[in-house]
Amino acid sequence: MHSLLGFLIALAVGLTGIGGGGFTVPALVLLAGLTAGDAVATAFMFAGALRLVAAPFYLVRQQIHTRYLRLLLQGAVPGLLAGTWALRWLSRDAASPLVIVLLGVLLAASSSVTFIKRVQNPEFARKNHRWLPWLALPIGVESGFSSAGAGALGTVLLLNYSEMTPAQVVGTDLLFGLVLAVIGSAFHWTFGSINSPLLFQLLAGGIPGVVAGCLLARKVSAHKLKSAIAMVAIFAGLQLVWSGGRALAQQSATNTAKITAPSGAAHAR
């Protein structure tokens, strides 16, 4: 099951550049039973390995915009360090489900912009390039905290507010996510929170999946690729809302049980 999960997630990453953290973390928490901290760390390593395999495909085709990549990293890397520190400070079992819900809402809403031409501005990044590091800062924070957001939010930003083609957006965002994954993985490796056996199972299906996605991307038209990216991002956002909402409900039930338990015991006495 874990290998099949890795294949499906990697197929989306190779085809659209997104789906790594947004799909992997909820799946590892809900299906594999990992703690939030272990799930984030394992997802970072998995996403980094997938993007390492996928990046050469886009480098060879010269589908990476180095200037926008540099601007995104200027803001996202400091944010990533802040988000990683926040996750460790809050401890493994204290990852905020509310943050996951908010990310899901933001991701689904921002991805919907792809289907609303009146609010798109393809010239924004070229005319307002100094804003890109500031827009990438919260993406880095969220990526460090939950490993989600780097691929999806970065792709949506570049897809609707830059002059790049969909293929260039995917390539640029793959390399953007790769750099963040390498840095984030290095920090989590020092914390010793990566589940290596599960990671290898995911990669067993993930490596052929990401190669298949990269090869299929060449046969997809630009318009269809843009729509596919948006649909995957919307689905990822809704999945995050669902998993975060479920975790919030579980936390609420646990807190209620803790409050009522002492009073029930006193009444029994």
Which residues, in sequence order, are CB contacts of 51 under 8 Å at separation 6+? 13, 20, 174, 175, 177, 178, 181
Output the pLDDT for position 91. Answer: 46
Output the pLDDT for position 137. Answer: 85
Q: Which amino acid is at 68?
A: Y
- Residue 246 falls within a domain, yes or no? yes
- Residue 118 falls within a domain, yes or no? yes
Answer yes or no: pTM beyond 0.75: no
Question: For residues 87 and 77, what is the distance between their CA atoms, to the nearest angstrom?
Answer: 15
- Residue 134 falls within a domain, yes or no? yes
Average pLDDT score over residue span 172-190: 79
The answer, yes or no, to whether residue 204 has pLDDT greater than 90, is yes
Buried b (16+ CB within 10 A) or exposed e, 202-213: bbebbbbbbbeb
- Residue 263 falls within a domain, yes or no? no
- Residue 53 falls within a domain, yes or no? yes
Output the pLDDT for position 264. Answer: 56
Q: What is the pLDDT of residues 71-112, one digit of tens each?
A: 989 988 898 888 777 766 654 444 567 767 776 777 677 677
Domain span at residue 137? 2-256
Output the pLDDT for position 94. Answer: 43
Output the pLDDT for position 240. Answer: 72
Check if the beta carbon of residue 141 is closer than 8 Å to that of residue 81: no
- Residue 25 falls within a domain, yes or no? yes
Question: For residues 196 and 210, what is the distance between their CA atoms, to the nearest angstrom?
Answer: 20
Confidence category of residue 62, pLDDT binned at 50, 70, 90: confident
Check if the beta carbon of residue 43 is closer than 8 Å to that of residue 84: no
What number of other Cβ atoms are within 10 A of residue 131's Cβ?
14
Which residues, in sequence order, are CB contacts of 229 under 8 Å at separation 6+? 16, 17, 18, 114, 155, 156, 159, 166, 169, 170
Q: What is the pLDDT of residues 110-148, one digit of tens each?
A: 677 767 777 667 777 778 788 888 888 888 877 776 655
Report the helix count and the strand count for the chain, using DSSP H and E. Answer: 11, 0
Question: For residues 52 and 13, what is the distance between their CA atoms, to the nearest angstrom?
Answer: 11
- Residue 169 falls within a domain, yes or no? yes
Token pair for 14: 């190779």
Q: Domain total for the chain?
A: 1
Question: For residues 3 and 216, what is the distance between their CA atoms, to the nearest angstrom?
Answer: 20
Output the pLDDT for position 201. Answer: 92
Question: What percent of the chain is predicted at pLDDT more than 70?
Answer: 78
Check if the beta carbon of residue 188 is closer than 8 Å to that of residue 84: yes
Least confident among 133-147, 161-175, 196-210? 133-147
- The DSSP string of 41-104 is HHHHHHHHHHHHHHHHHHHHTT---HHHHHHHHHHHHHHHHHHHHHHHHT-GGG--HHHHHHHH
Q: What is the pLDDT of residues 37-57, one digit of tens each?
A: 677 778 878 888 888 888 888
Output the pLDDT for position 19. Answer: 62
Q: What is the pLDDT of residues 206-263, one digit of tens each?
A: 999 989 988 887 777 766 766 776 777 777 778 778 877 887 888 788 778 777 766 5
Cα angle 221, 207, 52; round to 5: 80
